Chain A
Amino acid sequence: MAEVTYLEALRDGLAEEMARDERVFILGEDVGAFGGAFKVTEGFQQRFGSERVIDTPIAETAIVGAAAGAAHMGLRPVCEMQFIDFLSCAYSILTNYVATARYRADLSTPMVIRGPAGGYVRGGPFHSQNPEAAYLHTPGLKIVAPATARDAKGLIKAAIRDEDPVLYFEHKYLYRRIKEDLPEGEEILTPIGQARSVRPGRDLSILTWSAMLWKSLEAAEQLEREDGLAVQVLDLRTLLPLDTAAIVAAVKQTNRILIVHEDTRTGGVAGEITARINDLAFEWLDAPVKRVCAHDVPLPYAPTLEDFVLPQTGDIVRACRWLAAY
């Protein structure tokens, strides 16, 4: 066993796939000699060569479009967005070209787009976004968002092996704060499309992912201590396609559901999850489905403002108490 951070686990997963499969290559801004803005690909260019670790111009549409072309030809590109906020620069080619390729043209496009998402780091409006909802609405894409070091590794490896385009949203707050003992020499693969029950509980369920998993676990522990509530916490891990079966099972087990996400409220993923619960398991509910999300504003910079806008453990605790009492 070796203790690795979330970032190291992601880096190891990338390196393992590049060593395993020579079709895998990386392209992005400053990923080569510099090793990436957060050093995810540090040392990669020395190890794998500049043909497989390509420094690109500041041109997200070119990065995503070129990756698609290479993927059609049987390569396995991994695009780095320096911050996931900048994926919006490639929104058109991603949603119109890449995501539709299999459906309209029977073109395989096995590619990964990864990059740092999320707030709590005083990054301001353009280095803190959680843009998953903007892409959730696009048939043809997959979206994963790991919360643990094990899944950071397991999901990047699964994403690279997937036959379809996968968006991999890594949380920059977790990069160096989360550490985990991972076995050496054992292949870690996290299946795309499968949620994981992180904490059992019979009284209510929190459905969440990425950095919000850790705040949800904190809240669950506080509720157990102070209120005697047994709160189940489900890490969805994949947002597209959603693990509908696991969501429905949670409704049937605890009959009370709280969805926690860091992205803003309106049009967020919680709305889609709620609609699915209504479609498939409404009669099992003992309370309305509730959500804790960021307020509907661009994410501000000042600590006092950012902390107010983003979900905090106390918000989750309050929402759970409301649900339990309903």
Chain B
Amino acid sequence: MTLPPPNGLSRAQLHELYYWMRLTRSLEEKLVNLYRQTKVIGGLFRSLGQEADSVGSAYALDRGKGDILSPLIRNLGSMLVQGATPLEVLRQYMAKAESPTHGRELNIHFNDLRRGFIGQISHLGDMVPVMAGITLSFRMRREARVGLVYVGDGAMSTGAFHEGMNFAAVQQLPLVVIAENNGYAYSTPMEKQTAVKFLVEKAAGYGVPGEQADGNDVLAVHDVTRRAVARARAGDGVTLIELLTYRRKGHAEHDNQSYVPKGELETWAANDPIERYQRQLVSSGWADADELAALDARITAELDAAVAACENEPLPEPASALTGVLADPPEAELEWYRRLHG
């Protein structure tokens, strides 16, 4: 039996959604291996169990129209959809000279406005006002472009989130705000973060429409996001979307999750977004086992090649740290350093 493909998607696009989710997970698993070999310089952040929310939402944007998104630390999948490559991500984690930030920034904190992603900084909430400004520029230039910004149950407690959200709402900017409810901000559970039961309730406080969807159902995520994107593109302003999901790993690789109640991890493991989607693809007649196996094999080959390409690359030259603070750095500022170091 074959059902008609949902959400206006083609069979090939349904396969792409699978590809991006699987690529996200496999890339992170590669990074875990490199982390254990101490080749990852800093921390390692997993999105295990949240791949559907990143991929389904990013896939609802239109790269051809120049849409831009801003990820949080667990939105690797959204960056891959927008065209970031595994090679770039591997180089970032390993602080290579050839990484997009030349070893200046960590993990997925990098950007390419042409491809449509702008990396976050560590100060949660800051990207909401920044994305408000980016979408303000879209409107001022009469461009039919849309912005999308991810926040979590933690980021929504910050003042920057509030100020940016309020500004975007007042200005009716073409911005989609994805609130990922994954249960925890580091070790702090949702009920210690906010007094509302669901993050979507906060939409009312900003006078914007709020929507909620199952964050582990990639097609539901895609559907709710594409409707919000259409509203934004039509000039109808901001939408707040809450995606219900779960963070199955600790804040970072070092975190042993001792604060998680017994049974919770098992419950959510049984609700794995990739396995769910795999079953759905096959039972709906949208993919067969051979097609999925071929995608898996392609991902394995791509990732092996990416690791081989950069594993032994050098770190940046120390003195490269001194350039690029300003467009026109004053020569005199370096004089004392040069005097001391010849």
Contacts and interface: CB of A to CB of B under 8 A. Distances in A.
Contacts of B128: 65
A142 interface: yes
B133 A61 contact: no
Given A65-B130, A67-B133, A106 B324 contact: yes
A69 B132 contact: yes
B134 A69 contact: yes
A73 B137 contact: yes
A107 B113 CA distance: 9
Interface in A106-152: 106-108, 139-140, 142
Interface string B119-137: 1011100101111111111
Contacts of A280: 335-336
A66 B327 contact: no
Interface in A59-81: 59-75, 77
A56 interface: yes
B101 to A, nearest CB: 6
A325 interface: no
Contacts of B336: 279-280
B195 to A, nearest CB: 22
Given A57-B170, A70-B133, A103-B104, A96 B326 contact: no
Contacts of A108: 327
A59 B163 contact: yes
Interface residues of B, number: 44
Interface string B158-180: 01100110110011000000000
A68 B133 contact: yes
Interface string A78-99: 0000000000000011001100
A265 interface: no
A97 B121 contact: yes
A66 B164 contact: yes
B136 A93 contact: no
A52 B121 CA distance: 28
B104 A104 contact: yes
Given A96-B121, A244-B335, A61 B324 contact: no
A163 B326 CA distance: 8
B270 interface: no
Nearest to A276: B336
A19 interface: no
Given A103-B104, A164-B326, A241-B330, A92 B130 contact: no
17 contacts: A62-B129, A62-B132, A62-B167, A63-B167, A65-B126, A66-B129, A69-B130, A70-B137, A72-B113, A92-B123, A97-B126, A102-B325, A105-B109, A105-B111, A106-B101, A241-B329, A241-B333
Interface of A: 25, 51-52, 54, 56-57, 59-75, 77, 92-93, 96-97, 100, 102-108, 139-140, 142, 162-164, 193, 241, 244-245, 279-280
